Amino acid sequence: MLQNEKYKGDALLQKTYTVDFLTKKRIDNDGQVNQYYIENNHEPILDKEKWEIVQLEIARRKRFREQYKLQFYIMQKENNPFTTKVFCAECGSAFGRKNWTTSRGKRKVWQCNNRYRIKGQIGCLNNHIDEEMLEKAFMKAVGILQDHRSDVVAKWQKLEQGANLLHKHYAKQMYQILDLDKFDGVIMNRVLDHISISEAGQIVVTFLEGTEVDL
């Protein structure tokens, strides 16, 4: 719906055309007749910049799904903020959350989805990680950026002055983490692209504006 040019106040005429004037049957116009694009045709629902950012974000999510072979781009929820945010550095698969019951109680752990994809066989050898450790990893990456505040702010300001609207948007979001002192899943999902985990335990946190932090 938000891909429709009407949301930014423009209009594309003759998206469909009449093939039978008696029955008034219309079909999609795939180049059979001329189309006309009119800018500023009516009052926009979204301003043009926000509309363009939405289109860029839709394209980014499509590339993200293709890169990590995801069937869907799942919107994260507050009670499960790491969904489609954690990936295996060994095989490229997403990590999924499992609820384990141990003698010490229940644990939320994340594990490569390829590890037991085939029942009875161990696939990927990457290790699982506790959700608490993912939260700590994100906050450690945030702490590193906070320690280099002047450098990262200079980078974000440069992005804000650039022509790429999506980079500009994400740079503005990054300021929220400068004073973050405890994990917040909502804020994390405004700035985090993904977390990569290797079998050796190396964690790389990648932010949406392009910064990578090796832990």
Share of the chain above pLDDT 90, in %: 50
Tell which residue, 161, 192, 163, 205, has the closest CA to residue 53. 163
Residues sharing a CB contact under 8 Å with residue 177, sequence separation 6 or more, in sequence order: 142, 145, 146, 187, 191
pLDDT in tens, 114-167: 887 767 777 788 999 999 999 999 999 999 999 999 999 999 999 999 999 999
- How sure is the predictor about 77, in pLDDT bands with cuts at 50, 70 and 90? confident
Tell which residue, 177, 159, 167, has the closest CA to residue 213. 177
Residues 189, 85 contacting (CB under 8 angstroms): yes
pLDDT at residue 2 above 50?
no
pLDDT at residue 5 above 50?
no
Tokens of 62: 């499509």
pLDDT in tens, 21-48: 566 666 675 655 555 435 555 455 566 7
Tell which residue, 37, 36, 38, 42, has the closest CA to residue 7. 42
- How sure is the predictor about 73, in pLDDT bands with cuts at 50, 70 and 90? confident
pLDDT at residue 6 above 80?
no
- The span from the CA of 192 to the CA of 171, in Å, is 12
Give residue for tokens 């499509």. 62
**pTM (2 decimals)?**
0.75
